[in-house]
């Protein structure tokens, strides 16, 4: 517990430093502190969990490694940084997606949540379209365009799975997973606006804050167990 308190204090201290440097227009130090926030949370997870979940561990490791790649950006071609970094994020999201869906009963979901699935599908298509429409002028019909599609789809799959998981289980753990996924999606959407529309300090602050909040929700749910579900309920 003492180790966990130390890690929480360290995360808050790093986040405070990020905020100060971000609004002081010190982009290098702000990005550096931003990059180590999530790895610190990952370390806290492995320190506090005796039997880490495999897929959640892959999610944390891949996401953290991709964040840390900013420190070697000057030593590699940008294309390598782009494809490897985004590839790691995609693997992270797919691992989290598998973690969520592997405990679901698709028969139960199809029987009870048909309308939900239709609405979620339409919403996901709309969000994906909006995101691609924003980045399209900057990437065109290149390999990066298709990477962006896969990236957005993997992220939206996590959101969809987490919401269905909440409908399915309706417990605190599933709610935290959904809140974490929702925070991630909002963070990504604002991140696209920051990268391609207006690089304002407030937008980057919101991106980091929402991502940190998402990992807080994910970390908290990792300390809980799923409750049993009555699959025969209507």
How confident is the model over 106-123, as pLDDT tens digits? Answer: 888 888 888 888 888 888
| CB crowding 18-41: b at 16 or more within 10 Å, else e | bbebbeeeeeeebbbbbbbbbbbb
Does 233 map to a domain? Answer: no
Q: Does 233 score more than 50 pLDDT?
A: no
Residue 227 included in any domain? no
Q: Does 180 map to a domain?
A: yes
pTM: 0.89
Does residue 132 lie in a domain region? yes
Task: Give the pair of three-digit tokens for residue 159.
Answer: 């959101």
| pLDDT of the residue at 198 | 78
Question: How many domains in the chain?
Answer: 1
Residue 63 is assigned to a structural domain of this protein: yes
Q: Over 50: is that where the pLDDT of 232 sits? A: no
Residue 59 vs residue 47, higher pLDDT:
59
Residue 72 in any domain: the answer is yes
User: Between 143-169 and 78-101, two packed helices, what is the crossing angle to 10 degrees?
Assistant: 20
Question: Looking at residue 234, what is its pLDDT?
Answer: 37
Eight-state DSSP code of residue 60: H
So what's the pLDDT on residue 141? 64
Q: Rounded to an integer, what distance in angstroms lies between the CA atom of residue 58 and that of residue 72? A: 21
Which residues touch 120 (CB under 8 Å, ≥6 apart)? 160, 163, 164
Domain assignment of residue 37, yes or no = yes
**9-12 contact pairs (CB < 8 A, 24+):** 10/40, 11/37, 11/40, 11/41, 11/44, 11/212
| Element counts in the chain: helices (H) and strands (E) | 9, 0
* Backbone φ and ψ of 226, nearest 5°: -70, 140
Task: Check if the beta carbon of residue 208 is closer than 8 Å to that of residue 37.
Answer: yes
Query: H-type helices in 102-198, by residue range?
Result: 106-112, 114-139, 143-169, 172-196
Q: Which domain holds residue 209?
A: 2-222
**Residue 232 vs residue 164, higher pLDDT:** 164
Confirm whether 234 is domain-assigned. Answer: no
């Amino acid at each position: 517990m003492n180790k966990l308190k130390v890690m929480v204090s360290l995360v808050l201290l790093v986040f405070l430093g990020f905020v100060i440097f971000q609004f002081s227009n010190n982009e290098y130090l702000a990005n550096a502190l931003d990059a180590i926030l999530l790895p610190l949370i990952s370390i806290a997870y492995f320190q506090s969990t005796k039997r880490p979940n495999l897929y959640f561990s892959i999610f944390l490791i891949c996401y953290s490694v991709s964040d840390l790649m900013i420190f070697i950006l000057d030593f590699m071609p940008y294309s390598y940084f782009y494809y490897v970094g985004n590839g790691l994020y995609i693997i992270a999201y797919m691992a989290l997606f598998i973690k969520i869906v592997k405990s679901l009963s698709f028969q139960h979901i199809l029987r009870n949540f048909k309308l939900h699935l239709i609405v979620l599908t339409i919403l996901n298509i709309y969000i994906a379209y909006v995101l691609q429409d924003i980045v399209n002028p900057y990437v065109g019909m290149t390999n990066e365009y298709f990477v962006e599609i896969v990236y957005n789809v993997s992220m939206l799959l996590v959101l969809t799975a987490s919401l269905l998981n909440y409908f399915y289980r309706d417990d605190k753990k599933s709610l935290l997973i959904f809140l974490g996924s929702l925070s991630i999606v909002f963070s990504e959407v604002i991140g696209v606006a920051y990268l391609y529309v207006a690089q304002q300090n407030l937008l980057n602050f919101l991106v980091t804050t929402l991502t940190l909040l998402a990992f807080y929700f994910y970390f908290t749910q990792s300390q809980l167990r799923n409750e049993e579900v009555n699959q025969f309920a209507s």
